[in-house]
Amino acid sequence: MQNSGAEPRSDWTRAEIAALFDLPFGDLMFLAQATHRAHHTANEVQLCTLLSIKTGGCPEDCGYCSQSAKADTALKAEKLMDVAAVLASAAEARAAGSQRFCMGAAWRNPKDRDLPALVEMIEGVRALGMESCMTLGMLTGDQARALAAAGLDYYNHNIDTSPENYGNVITTRTFQDRLDTLEEVRAAGINVCCGGIVGMGETRDDRVGFIHALATLAHHPESVPINSLIPIKGTVLGDMLADTPLARIDEIEFVRTVAAARITMPRSMVRLSAGRESMSDAGQALAFMAGANSIFTGDRLLTTANAGDSRDAALFGQLGLAPLIGDEPMRALAAAE
């Protein structure tokens, strides 16, 4: 294990990560918790809120997504939300205790005509004293620089799964396309939020490959969301997996994935994201013990249900967890690296 002053490793091998997954569960949890405490304050969890600012009609064919135009769901395509409505939602999230406000648009890539409104949203969220995050699809260098100039703190662009499994999930853009956008975001000076989804019928080798792809980036993502698939009827994966045992990844295996992320990317915020609403309280407790220190709170994610503020407050009370207070100095940390 590295100490807090050492530079995080970016030379992890798949064999090393596979060995982490294979550890006795108690040993893995001990290592993950020790790593977490060396780099983060124990028993504090960052609260984030996610809002869909442009829902439905995406031309991509992501097999898990109800917002794909190719999915047979009842979701209707909507226009980009009004800036004032977005900022009103951000103010509500701040009042409820969220530190970061994440805005997602169902686009393959934003159009330049959308940038002025996006810039207003970023500036408005930051004026509320919140961290700002956006996920808008692929970006050009000019677009990334425009978002950076507006003060965007984080850009989310997930790799979703291992390079080998990627083509089984998405065919309309490549794994390299994902990495190219991450490079543009990093070059513009925006913090990277990048993770993926487990429980899509992938193998453990794919979960190892997913963690390996992130942990061997020259700069680890400052934020790593780990999602558990929510099988949605009308999506490729939802129809394929909804009635099979593969629809839900085993909670212990999910926690192993969280622990592997914490150990290999010790400075990153590791977020429990989609799928948390169906996890048991015990499963979530284990994930926090494994080093997860960020969640989406509220009753809704982009288009699916979330655990909700009241359940989160009750669970935090049981576990002795507290919301992370104050600005996380991620931008300064990224610059120092």
- The pLDDT value given to residue 35: 97
CATH superfamily of 24-332: Aldolase class I (3.20.20.70)
Cβ pair 160, 166 in contact under 8 A: yes
- The pLDDT value given to residue 96: 86
d(CA 253, CA 239): 23
Residue type at 307 in one-letter notation: A
Q: Which of 48, 102, 207, 276 is catalytic?
A: 102
DSSP code of 139? -
Task: Return the percentage of the chain with pLDDT > 90, whole number.
Answer: 67
Q: Which of 48, 65, 100, 276 is catalytic?
A: 65
Cβ pair 3, 267 in contact under 8 A: no
d(CA 248, CA 238): 11
- The pLDDT value given to residue 329: 37
d(CA 334, CA 131): 15
**Does 9 participate in catalysis according to the annotation?**
no
Using the predicted structure, report yes or no on whether residue 249 has a pLDDT greater than 90.
no
d(CA 59, CA 272): 27
**Does 194 participate in catalysis according to the annotation?**
no
* Residues 276-287: b if buried by 16+ CB within 10 A, e if exposed: bbebeeebbbbb
Q: Which of 193, 256, 262, 276 is catalytic?
A: 193
Q: Which of 62, 173, 207, 267 is catalytic?
A: 62
Return the biggest CA–CA distance within the chain.
Answer: 53
Asked which of 99-108, 250-259, 296-305 is least confident by mean pLDDT, the reply is 296-305
Single pTM value for the model: 0.88
**Does 193 participate in catalysis according to the annotation?**
yes
Cβ pair 308, 291 in contact under 8 A: no
Using the predicted structure, report yes or no on whether residue 135 has a pLDDT greater than 80.
yes
d(CA 66, CA 303): 8
Q: Which of 100, 173, 267, 271 is catalytic?
A: 271
Mean per-residue pLDDT, 187-204:
94
Return the ∠ at Cα 257 (arms to 240 and 167), rounded to 5°.
40
Give 240 or 245, the one with higher predicted confidence. Answer: 240
Cβ-in-10-Å burial (0-12, 13-18, 19+) of 208 comes to buried
Q: Confidence band (pLDDT; 50, 70, 90) for 154?
A: very high
Residue type at 254 in one-letter notation: F
Cβ pair 170, 63 in contact under 8 A: yes
Structure tokens, 165: 């499994």
pLDDT tens per residue across span 58-83: 778 787 777 776 766 766 778 899 99
- The pLDDT value given to residue 234: 72
**Would you give the end-to-end CA distance of the chain in angstroms?**
19
pLDDT tens per residue across span 13-27: 999 999 999 999 999
Contacts of 19 (CB under 8 A, 6+ apart): none
**Does 48 participate in catalysis according to the annotation?**
no
**Does 65 participate in catalysis according to the annotation?**
yes
- The pLDDT value given to residue 245: 52
d(CA 141, CA 229): 31
Mean per-residue pLDDT, 322-326:
78
Q: Which of 133, 173, 178, 186 is catalytic?
A: 133
**Helix ranges (DSSP H) in 5-98:** 14-22, 25-39, 83-95
